[in-house]
Amino acid sequence: MATNDHGEHAPIDRKADITIVGGGLAGLAACIEVATRNPSLSIVLVEKEGKLGGNSAKASSGINAALNDDDAPVFEKDTLESGTGLAARSLVDVFVRNSRDAIAFLEKQGHVDLSVLSQLGGHSAKRTHRNTQGPNVGFAIVSALQKLITDHIESHDWHIDVVTSASAEQVLFENDRVTGLVIDRVDKTGRDEGAGEPLRETIESSVVILATGGYSANPELLKKFAPGVEDFPTTNGPWARGDGIGLAQQLGAELVLMDKVQLHPTAFINPKDRSAKHKFLAPEAIRGSGALLINSSGKRFVNELATRDKVAAAILAQPSKDAYMLLFEGAKDMETTLGFYKHMGLVQVAHSIEEAAALCHVDAFVLQQTLNDYAEVSHSQQPDAFGKTVFPHPLHYAEDVTSHMEIHVMEVAPAVHYTMGGVKINEHAQVLRSDDSAIAGLYAAGEVSGGLHGANRLGGNSLAECVVFGRIAAQQAVQQLAH
């Protein structure tokens, strides 16, 4: 029988072979992997929000995978270089080797369209996959996987109990191994309305997989581990509080790279609420489709396809600490995504350089010169003054500032987007103590874990990490139960 943190026997309300905490992409991938490998196993999927998806549903740039065997070492090199020497090579190796299978898994299990390829910042090739139309890629993926799970539950093929509006409070541990999970659940019948106390339940389970995400919406944790970044707005939902990190710490888990917090360089500035603490992400795929960044003088100042840390630092070095992002022909690639942001009033469309300059409050002739300089170098295919070597949708020379030219204009600034730190895991997704011993029965996948990305994450690696390590955690859990 499970015991709580006071050593008392906890009453059992549910039993499951495997309990998964977190209903984002890592949790969904783990759930499906368990069910497909052994449909007889019982699974409880715990999600603290009222619906599944988490930050994964907000992802919009795509999911990475090595293009082929030749690209695998290049992808690994890009990931390690982005991590500035702090990425765990063993995790990167496993991640890259399994990345193509992750795409195949999504296409097979969820019938997700991932046919569009783009090249994001810090990548040496077009290896970021996204859908051709419909909602943003993250939402498309989690919606498809959620539907798959729902269909199998309704047909009684899989033994899955999805518990939403439930927070995980404690991983139970006895005789040196995981024995269950304590949750606080909102009573959907409404019996607890006004009572102020959630219903406490205990799940008996010999495996717990943590897939709870990071802590980008927890100012207290950010201030503790990375002082200063808590003052920035965040692109994350309010659920990103680092819950799984606290759960793992209770069992002696080692934490790594907790001070490594990613500022995404381009979060939309809402003209109606410029100081909002939550900002919509301006997807990196926009820059991957040829968008340029200009400062308050109407000039470029950075390689738009450098790694996120470098682009963010360059924007923060500007006197205004923000920038305008201009998208040209590449808008056709982003039509579906841009439609949502236009509706939100975050993207404006100019029909000439003169109109765009007015929206950016810069001199039209300075902007014309900036764009013509870029047009010249982009057609030469030589590195520009900022080291840019990839030029998606090269510009055409503009004869004058009033000629017709469709330009999508966005005002952007850096925001807290991702936390590279988390619980330490090995290549089997087992949660580790400080002596590298595994905590028996405890696994972690996705942003709750640390080590894969080092000091800086490449765009598109987060969704891929969720699928790769969510599946690995599930495979290891099934194997553990078989013994």
CA atoms within 13 A on the CB side of 457: 29
> Would you say 245 and 403 are in contact if contact means Cβ atoms under 8 Å apart?
no
Residue from 120, 124, 104, 100 nearest 112 by CA = 104
Concatenated DSSP letters for 341-369?
Answer: HHHTT--EEESSHHHHHHHHTS-HHHHHH
> Would you say 38 and 154 are in contact if contact means Cβ atoms under 8 Å apart?
no
Residue 318 DSSP code: S
Neighbours of 208 (CB within 10 A): 32
Q: Could you tell me where the beta strands, DSSP code E, fall in 236-368?
A: 255-256, 261-268, 292-294, 323-327, 348-350
Let me know if 152 is a catalytic residue: no
Cβ-Cβ contacts under 8 Å for 365 (sequence gap 6 or more)? 401
d(CA 216, CA 233) in angstroms, rounded, equals 9
d(CA 281, CA 264) in angstroms, rounded, equals 8
The one catalytic residue in 123, 241, 264, 471 is 264
Let me know if 287 is a catalytic residue: yes
Token pair for 441: 């029965």
d(CA 105, CA 111) in angstroms, rounded, equals 9
DSSP strand pairing (42-46 vs 255-256): unpaired
The one catalytic residue in 287, 300, 308, 453 is 287
Active site residues per annotation: 264, 287
